[in-house]
Amino acid sequence: MAEPASTRPGAGLLDRDAIRLSERAATTDEAIRRCGETLVEVGAVTPAYVEAMLAREQTISTYVGEGVAIPHGTLTAKECVRRDALAVLRFPDGVDWNGNRVLVCVAIAARGDGHVEILSELAQILLDPERARALREATEPDEVLALLSPVRKESTA
Amino acid sequence: MPSIKGNDIHKVVVACDAGMGSSVMLASTLRRQLSRHSVTVEHTPVNDIPADADVVVTHVGLADRARASAPDKVIVPIRVFLGDPAINTIIMAVQYGGDLHG
B45-76 pLDDT tens trace: 888 899 999 999 999 989 999 999 999 999 99
Question: Which ipTM did the prediction report?
Answer: 0.72
B93 by Cβ neighbours in 10 Å (0-12 / 13-18 / 19+) ranks as buried
Parse chain A into domains and list their residue ranges. 14-146
Task: Please pick, among B13, B16, B26, B62, the residue that the annotation labels catalytic.
Answer: B16
- Domains, chain B: 3-95 (3.40.50.2300)
A3-51 pLDDT tens trace: 444 444 455 789 999 999 999 999 999 999 999 999 999 999 999 999 9
State the smallest CA–CA distance between residue A121 and chain B in angstroms.
9
Tell me the C-alpha distance between A157 and A10, whole Å: 21
Residue A70 with chain B: CB contacts under 8 Å: 21-22, 25
Question: For residue A62, is pLDDT > 70?
Answer: yes
Q: Which of these, A78, A150, A142, lies nearest to A116 by C-alpha position?
A: A150
Task: Please pick, among A72, A115, A131, A136, the residue that the annotation labels catalytic.
Answer: A72
pTM of the model: 0.82
Q: Which of these, A137, A157, A156, lies nearest to A147 by C-alpha position?
A: A137
Per the CB < 8 A criterion, the answer to whether B92 and B98 are in contact is: yes
* Interface with B, mutate which of A49, A54, A64, A115 (most B CBs under 10 A): A64
Give the pLDDT of residue A155: 46
> What CATH architecture applies to the domain A14-146?
3-Layer(aba) Sandwich (3.40)
B20 interfaces chain A, CB cutoff of 8 Å? yes
